[in-house]
Structure 1
Amino acid sequence: MEKAGQKRRPLTVMASSSSQVAAARGMGMTNPLAEWTDRVRSLEAGVRAWLAKQPTHVEAAVVTAVGAVQGAALGGLMGTLAPDGGAALPVPPPPPGTDPKVLASFKQAQALAGGPLVQARNFAVMTGANAGISCVMRRIRGVEDVQGSMAAAFGSGALFSIVSGMGTPNPVANAITTGVGFAVFQGGFFMISQKFSQPQSGDTYYSRGRSMLQKLGLQNYEKNFKKGLLTDQTLPLLTDSALRDVKIPPGPRLLILDHIKRDPELTKAN
């Protein structure tokens, strides 16, 4: 009897271990990267919801600071990876008595050839100004359009020209010229991106919802709206439970409901 009992024990252990492996595999079905991405998106949506409830100057200050940090990191990285100790474009000194226009071009090339700290400063000013002005224009106009995008590009280009030191001996004129160039480029890019992002004929029932999600930075949840048949006509009727049913996280739900409450066009949608 004892030998028989001893033979049965390994079977029990094997069954237990196999069940643990199966349970571990079942738990492994969840992708850690996808879970982490969802958490980051939920946190970002929560921050956006909090900023949407703040005064314009508070949101603009926060957005400007975040944009400046991102720009500084990008500029520092570009300056570090550039050859010759961060000088992406080795520029020889101009000869004495150089023409002012040539000197201005030299200053512009010199600004683009700075090391990591110089590039970090220039990009921080450019991206921070662009983000802050875009935020203010969106709050004032109530929509993110080509005019607001061009205004933000003009401001960021002008400040970039001033802080980088290029454009001497006439920095004001060069700042205006650089700002106009930035604005024209950004306006053209905005219009092209809008043209290619036009919805298909079968998606006309979700045009308002798509526009709302893009403004809030939640365009990844457009498929949730379509799966739940949350068309433009249902936007004024949306509730927390309805958004929960289509598996939208709490942060984005709060942001969507707050935006609908604040937007008179959505509340009057038929």
Structure 2
Amino acid sequence: MWWNKKEKKEVVLVVGNENPLKELDKKCKEYKILFDQWVVKQSLPGEASIATVAGAVRGAALGACLTSLVDHVLPTFNLPPRPATLQSNIPGCPPSLVPYKPIISGGTLAQARNFAVLTSVNAGLSCGLRRLRGKKDFETW
């Protein structure tokens, strides 16, 4: 218990019988709804910048998780070793398309940065176009 100094009322915390994780999930959803309502009230540059930052955070988390997952899971498949040279038998084939080259190259931080850039640009552009056109991009087809 504690006292609310403004209203001079005693406040009692009541712990419900509901699962604490469900209560936390419900509170997070309430805050997300309030945040989304606040974002919609912002100007176009404000909403686009908020969407861009949110996309960057989401992309960085996705890139870090994906890279760490690939680093831990790929060794269990016992893939054949990569060729010692990056030469291809196909004339004009760039080194990036040489067989057995890993799909995700670079460290965890590099991939987190790459995913953050790609998802933030996508989120910002999609948000701006949605506000300008009045509908989502995939609804235009």
TM over 0.5: yes
Q: Please give the alpha-carbon distance, in whole angstroms, between the structure 2 residues aligned to 1:46 and 1:35.
A: 17
Q: Output one character per residue of 1:25-62: Cα deviation in whole Å (capped at 9) or x when no partner.
A: x9542332222122111111111111111111111111
Q: Please give the alpha-carbon distance, in whole angstroms, between the structure 2 residues aligned to 1:100 and 1:55.
A: 49
- Looking at CA atoms only, which structure, 1 or 2, has the larger radius of gyration? 1
Q: Which gives a bigger RCO, structure 1 or 2 (Cα 8 Å, sep 6+)?
A: 2
| 2:44 pairs with 1:56 | yes
Question: Any stretches of 5+ residues in structure 2 without a counterpart?
Answer: 1-13
Of 102, 117, 123, which aligns to 1:125? 117
| 2:71 pairs with 1:79 | no
Of 50, 53, 69, which aligns to 1:65? 53
Please state how far the C-alpha of 1:101 moved relative to its aligned partner: 2.7
Letter in 2 for 1:71: G
2:95 corresponding residue in structure 1: 103
Cα gap change, 1:99 to 1:55, in 2 (>3 Å): farther
Please state how far the C-alpha of 1:70 moved relative to its aligned partner: 1.3
Question: Any stretches of 5+ residues in structure 1 without a counterpart?
Answer: 1-25, 149-186, 188-270
| 2:100 pairs with 1:112 | no
Q: Please give the alpha-carbon distance, in whole angstroms, between the structure 1 residues aligned to 2:120 and 2:82.
A: 27
Q: Output one character per residue of 1:200-235: Cα deviation in whole Å (capped at 9) or x when no partner.
A: xxxxxxxxxxxxxxxxxxxxxxxxxxxxxxxxxxxx
Q: Is the 8 A contact 1:72 1:121 kept in 2?
A: yes
2:128 corresponding residue in structure 1: 136
TM-score, normalised to structure 1, is: 0.38
Letter in 1 for 2:21: L
Letter in 2 for 1:142: G
Q: Share of identical aligned residues, percent?
A: 37
Q: Please give the alpha-carbon distance, in whole angstroms, between the structure 2 residues aligned to 1:48 and 1:117.
A: 29
Q: How does 1:154-173 map to 2 (within 5 A)?
A: none
Letter in 2 for 1:41: K
1:226 corresponding residue in structure 2: none
Q: Is the 8 A contact 2:67 2:104 kept in 1?
A: no
Q: Is the 8 A contact 1:75 1:119 kept in 2?
A: yes
Please state how far the C-alpha of 1:124 moved relative to its aligned partner: 0.9
Q: Is the 8 A contact 2:68 2:108 kept in 1?
A: yes
TM-score, normalised to structure 2, is: 0.67
Q: Output one character per residue of 1:232-259: Cα deviation in whole Å (capped at 9) or x when no partner.
A: xxxxxxxxxxxxxxxxxxxxxxxxxxxx
Aligned pair count reads 121
Q: Is the 8 A contact 1:75 1:121 kept in 2?
A: yes
Q: Please give the alpha-carbon distance, in whole angstroms, between the structure 1 residues aligned to 2:123 and 2:66.
A: 20
